[in-house]
Chain A
């Protein structure tokens, strides 16, 4: 490969040998991404304070009625759902609260996915498990995942408290009448969105814990 524009690309193909420049660029890129992530997290948390407090109050009310939390998402968001569940179930401090991720059982996921379609993998589980005191939280970066929208519709019909955590402008999730509280990360990088979604989940959990302790001093659990 050789033409008049080669000077624009000093390291054509396999000719590059100096790792120092690359490592320096990579290090600066990593620091820039960390700064962007921290700024997005800070701005989103500040903007979301009232939604977080309202949603946490509603969650506390459900937990006080022996409600349980169901969390779901696809791909990386499925693991973020599991991480949020771990936070409620085995918290680093505070009271453990009943929470389950609807993404953990490959038998259930493949059975429903194969028999009735992947759009229904979460809603079918809610039909089997959820009652009116329960809580549904769905995570999606696009806000458009059909299986989440179906799950919210099912949850809403069953009287569950519904909370969506989405990215970009929230997509269908932000407009769905079946999502009572919607937390948004207004960004267009899936990675930066997911990092801040985790921060939102953590803030939500912290607010629920604060109410948990407040409602029954000295004991800290509702049931």
Chain B
């Protein structure tokens, strides 16, 4: 597990690169919406005079998955702040792959699985953390303040913002049958006869879903060679 400082460094550089290419950062904290608002205001209206305003938006909708599905464009960033077992947070980070978005998952308490998001930025789990105090005592705030600060340092290094770095690209999983690439898609609709419209990081595609069980809009599938080869739980 990387040191939290190194973790924030890598995350900030990738975030700056995404902003540099026109990304919006969508901030979502299902249990702590005020923290999502705090991040958004930091980026949109910086406290340090002269720092550029960046497009960050807090999402606090009745159906956040539906709102994000409509709002997020490929290349955007989704910052989720939550506990690792929050079901809505999980639904968002899983779908983000199909939406072509980079995910940053920030929180405290038990950590998510290592590959659950592109960047996992987790508060130290010590003392009262197991009872959730990092959310309230300033330690979660510290994480996103430092993320903002480091992101702006990155803008002072324009040569490093144009670099294409595929290391942060988490474009799906691997087909267990042939070890070839598999990509995650989110079902838009299906004709019931095996022809299904899906959204992937590359856009809208028509795929064959005859070999997987019944699929419904919103389901995630693993795509290989134009066909769904498995449902993604």
A147 near B: Cβ within 8 Å? no
Query: When the two chains form their complex, are residues B35 and A83 in contact, meaning their CB atoms are under 8 A apart?
Result: yes
Q: Across the interface, which residues of B come within 8 angstroms of A33, CB to CB? A: 142, 145-146, 149
> Quick one: closest B residue to A85, CB to CB?
B34
User: How many residues belonging to A are interface residues under a CB distance threshold of 8 Å?
Assistant: 46
B interface footprint on A1-36 (CB within 8 Å = 1, 0 otherwise): 000000000010111111100111111111101100
Bound form: Cα–Cα A37–B123 in Å: 14
Bound form: Cα–Cα A78–B34 in Å: 8
**Chain A contacts with B in 90-148, Cβ cutoff 8 A:** 92-93, 101
A-B contact count (CB 8 A): 136
Q: How far is the CB of A191 from chain B (nearest CB, A)?
A: 4
Query: When the two chains form their complex, are residues A79 and B131 in contact, meaning their CB atoms are under 8 A apart?
Result: no
Query: When the two chains form their complex, are residues B37 and A82 in contact, meaning their CB atoms are under 8 A apart?
Result: yes
Q: Across the interface, which residues of A come within 8 angstroms of B139, CB to CB? A: 195
Query: When the two chains form their complex, are residues B149 and A191 in contact, meaning their CB atoms are under 8 A apart?
Result: yes
Interface range on chain B: under 10, 10 to 19, 20 to 34, or 35 or more?
A: 35 or more
Q: How far is the CB of A121 from chain B (nearest CB, A)?
A: 16
Query: When the two chains form their complex, are residues A23 and B136 in contact, meaning their CB atoms are under 8 A apart?
Result: no
Query: When the two chains form their complex, are residues B136 and A29 in contact, meaning their CB atoms are under 8 A apart?
Result: no
B141 near A: Cβ within 8 Å? yes
Query: When the two chains form their complex, are residues A82 and B34 in contact, meaning their CB atoms are under 8 A apart?
Result: yes
Bound form: Cα–Cα A195–B135 in Å: 11
Among A25, A29, A34, A83, the one with the most B-chain Cβ atoms within 10 Å of its Cβ is A83
Q: Across the interface, which residues of A come within 8 angstroms of B158, CB to CB? A: 13-14, 16
Query: When the two chains form their complex, are residues B145 and A191 in contact, meaning their CB atoms are under 8 A apart?
Result: yes
- Our pick among A18, A31, A92, A101 for the contact of B136 (Cβ within 8 Å) is A92
A202 near B: Cβ within 8 Å? yes
Give A residues with C-beta under 8 Å from B. 11, 13-19, 22-31, 33-34, 37, 41, 75-76, 78-80, 82-84, 86-87, 92-93, 101, 190-191, 194-199, 201-202, 205
The 6 closest A-B CB pairs, nearest first, are: A16-B159, A198-B138, A26-B9, A82-B34, A30-B5, A79-B38
